[in-house]
Amino acid sequence: MIAKEHNILMNKRTLEHESARFDRETMAPEILDRVKKIFSENRDDYLKHYVRPILVERLLQEKFLFDTLYHKEPYKKVKEASNKIKGAATITDTVVKVFEPGKELLPYYENALGKGICEDKYSYYFVNRNEKRLIVYLVPKNDYTEWFQTEALKIKVEIYDKKLKEKLLLRTKDSVFWQKLLQD
């Protein structure tokens, strides 16, 4: 439901393609073989109940993490910081993390020098040189899990088996998210 709302649609061809990717890239072929044996009678069930959820989760994460639409505020903050630095102003926003990269990250950030605002999976950043030092200005993107849980709570979940519901509520008693999701 969440995937559909965010224009992530599945068809059998897409699922077959993902299944082939699993076969090529798995790091645990013995586990994948055991999963396939569970579904040995029905390939469609394997695609629907195993491949599809994994693919949907990956595509939702990719869409969320790389679509500026979901990160308007962090992008706005990094853009403001970039404009302040260009104008030689001081950054006072505590959301902007300013640091000098260590040796292991130096080549990564040197590559971004002079390219303006860049992004990786979890942040927006830009890099300036201050005398001989490299300075990184970084703003974290919004959290995927928080976003996903907010979206999931919009979906009504009904569990008709009272014993099953009690077990689920007991098993997830320490999780605010699952308690909210499973409550009437």
pLDDT digits (tens, 9 = 90+) for 111-154: 999 899 999 999 999 999 888 899 999 999 999 999 999 999 99
pLDDT of residue 92: 74
User: If you average pLDDT over residues 52-72, what whole number do you get?
Assistant: 94
SS3 label, residue 158: coil
**Taking residues 61-84, what's their average pLDDT?**
93
pTM of the model: 0.78
Q: In the predicted model, what is the mean pLDDT of residues 4-21?
A: 93
Rounded Cα distance, 65 and 158, in Å? 30
Residue 184 has pLDDT above 70, yes or no: no
| Average pLDDT score over residue span 12-38 | 95
Parallel, antiparallel or unpaired: strands 123-130 and 118-119: antiparallel
Give the integer Cα–Cα distance in Å for 78 and 137: 8
Are 140 and 122 in contact by the 8 Å Cβ rule? The answer is yes
For all residues of the chain together, what is the average pLDDT? 92
CA atoms of 161 and 71, how far apart (whole Å): 39
> E-strand spans in the chain?
97-99, 118-119, 123-130, 133-140
**Residues 105-132: b if buried by 16+ CB within 10 A, e if exposed:** eeeebeebeeeeebbeeebbbbbeeeee
